[in-house]
Amino acid sequence: MKSFKILVFAAILLIAGGCKKKFEDYIVNPNQPTSVPPSLLLRGVLNSLPVYPDGDAERWSQFTCRNYTYYGNNEYWSGSADMDYGVLNNIVAMEAEAKKSSGSDVNPYAALGKFLRAYFFVNMTLKFGDIPMTDALKGLENQKPKYDAQKQVFIQSLQLLEEANTMLTTLISKADVSLQGDFYFQERTNGAETPLNALKKWQKVVNTFKLRVLIHLSKKDTDPDLKVKQLFSDVVTNTTKYPVMTSAADNLEFAYNATTNQYPNNAANFGFDALRLNMAATWLNTLSSMNDLRAMRVAEPARGLGFADTDFRSFIGASSGEDLSNMAAKVQLGKYSLYNRKRYYNGFTGENTFIVSYQEMCFNIAEAINRGWVTGNAETWYQTGLWASMAFYGIVDGDNTVTFLKPNALLGDYVNYTVNFNFNTFYNQASVKYAGNNTTGLNQILVQKYLSFARNSGLEAYYQWRRTGQPVFLTGPGTGNSNVIPLRFQYPSSERSTNTENLTSSLQSQYAGNDNINAKMWILN
């Protein structure tokens, strides 16, 4: 009996010891998830990529104008912009979750993470100048990160793109890829693209974006640390190692739908803003001056000028610098063109918004050849980019139907015209036909690239103007800032209050201590 009691007591101790819990076990809610699938994080990050049309970026790129103060004005910014560290922290979390679930550092989410890191760091440095990068994204380990010089941000970003390309090559060679959350290439095509084919398209995006980054560095093309010409040549001359886009089907672009992601200008808001927004001269007058049919695709004729609806002289935009009251009065008199309401207000899906596009790549390569970075036929790439842009607007060589809203009509009451557009006649104009690898030819490339940026690609059109002066942007009382277009954004107030010492040091090294929106950042000097 005594031995039996000892055994029972030992069993009780064993059970009690086995049930012992740590404090942490009691504070974990079993009904709440402790991790997030990398696919869900990827979806959120990818949703942060597009800059939608009809926003400030469009006005600052001088594509359209507001003419009614209730909706704002055409002034440039006077202060700060947001930083992207929130979305970058989500990229870090995505990479960590993907490594946890796959057991490997080499996985599709890690590869896309490198590209996305580069994308957002480049986005920030183009806005501000120096930014925290090396010491950033370390959480509680470093809440006051030092600033990296803009040159180092570009060097590190180019290295991230190189690593992304290498990792994607490895993953694609295995042909056993699992990728979810990609609504750009897989879901946009209703599942027509497998994860493997989607990664192949993402690899093209990575290297095409790399060409954009290098073009941003055109003023630094002799810097031995950056190796701009060599890196550009490496991509263009070795597309086996560095695949790039081969058609518009490879575009990274955001597609709209009629329910959850409606195009900003649509049938529902036709009555609110269709008369409050008009075309900007920098965009529309450039098109009409070249007898470019894209003018009739994007705009309506200004019927108060007395010309026929299909006369290019009817397609006139307002100067972005014009006084707002004067602009509004002229719109009421039919002196300026409005959006083409058939194109932009007839439904809810609109046109896709480019993030990185084939036509931009063509113009970037043409520019690089013009500058002597690489050998090749600049005119061929120039023409390819031009025709790709024409195709985006549905323009064909021959008869085209153009549609405009009838005067004083409601949405749905249109008039159609047939306009013959001859590619050879158009191209052989002195203003269009490539003038050769000289300054005139370079400006032609830049102007056509600007036109291809219309209503998409975020601030790329503005960044091109800032870098090259092409095309000429118009200023005046309507643009504010004493008729001067700002060259950068101020840092957000959160940086001034939480990272004061490092920000102060960075401002001193860049802009003589002043967070001046008119100061030139390193890449512009």
Given this model, what pLDDT does residue 39 score?
A: 96
- For residue 93, what is the DSSP state? H
Please write the tens of the pLDDT for every residue from 144-157: 999 999 999 999 99
**C-alpha distances in Å from residue 242, one per residue of 127, 245, 447:** 28, 10, 27
Given this model, what pLDDT does residue 158 score?
A: 98
Could you tell me the pLDDT band of residue 321, with boundaries at 50, 70 and 90?
A: very high
Cβ(248)–Cβ(392) below 8 Å: yes
| pLDDT at position 15 over 80 | no
| pLDDT at position 435 over 80 | yes
Percent of the chain's residues with pLDDT above 90: 85
Cβ(381)–Cβ(362) below 8 Å: yes
**Calpha distance 267→90 (Å, rounded):** 35
What single letter denotes the amino acid at residue 55? Answer: G
**Calpha distance 300→318 (Å, rounded):** 13
| pLDDT at position 59 over 50 | yes
pLDDT mean over 317-332: 96
| Token reading at 393 | 């607007």
Class of residue 396 by CB neighbours under 10 A (exposed 0-12, middle 13-18, buried 19+) = exposed
Q: Name the residue among 333, 460, 329, 367 with its Cα closest to residue 62.
A: 460
| pLDDT at position 451 over 70 | yes
Please write the tens of the pLDDT for every residue from 347-371: 999 999 999 999 999 999 999 999 9
**Calpha distance 2→4 (Å, rounded):** 5
Residue 516 CB partners (closer than 8 Å, separation 6+): 488
DSSP conformation letters of 96-131: HHHHHHHSSS-SHHHHHHHHHHHHHHHHHHHHHSSB
Please write the tens of the pLDDT for every residue from 380-408: 999 999 999 999 999 999 999 999 999 98
Given this model, what pLDDT does residue 255 score?
A: 95
Output phi, psi for 449, to 5 deg: -70, -40
Could you tell me the pLDDT band of residue 22, with boundaries at 50, 70 and 90?
A: low
Cβ(377)–Cβ(241) below 8 Å: no
Given this model, what pLDDT does residue 71 score?
A: 83
Q: Name the residue among 409, 265, 261 with its Cα closest to residue 347.
A: 265
**Calpha distance 399→406 (Å, rounded):** 21
Q: Is 400 helix (H, G, I), strand (E, B) or coil?
A: strand
Sign of CA dihedral 235, 236, 237, 241: positive
Q: What's the predicted TM-score (pTM) here?
A: 0.92
Q: Name the residue among 326, 363, 324, 346 with its Cα closest to residue 405.
A: 346
Residue 261 CB partners (closer than 8 Å, separation 6+): 254, 255
Higher pLDDT: 432 or 21? It is: 432
| Token reading at 205 | 């995006």
Strands 64-66 and 353-356: unpaired
Could you tell me the pLDDT band of residue 8, with boundaries at 50, 70 and 90?
A: very low
Could you tell me the pLDDT band of residue 28, with boundaries at 50, 70 and 90?
A: low
Q: Name the residue among 233, 220, 205 with its Cα closest to residue 149.
A: 220
| Token reading at 496 | 């001034």
Kindly report the three-state secondary structure assignment for every residue of 308-342.
CCCCHHHCCCECCCCCHHHHHHHHHCCCCCEECHH
Could you tell me the pLDDT band of residue 29, with boundaries at 50, 70 and 90?
A: low
Given this model, what pLDDT does residue 263 score?
A: 95
Could you tell me the pLDDT band of residue 139, with boundaries at 50, 70 and 90?
A: confident
**Calpha distance 283→286 (Å, rounded):** 6
Segment among 57-71, 202-216, 228-242, 439-453 with least mean pLDDT: 57-71
| pLDDT at position 481 over 70 | yes
**First-residue to last-residue Cα distance in the chain:** 95
Please write the tens of the pLDDT for every residue from 156-165: 999 999 999 9
Please write the tens of the pLDDT for every residue from 80-127: 999 999 999 999 999 999 999 999 999 999 999 999 999 999 999 999
Q: What is the residue-averaged pLDDT of the chain?
A: 92
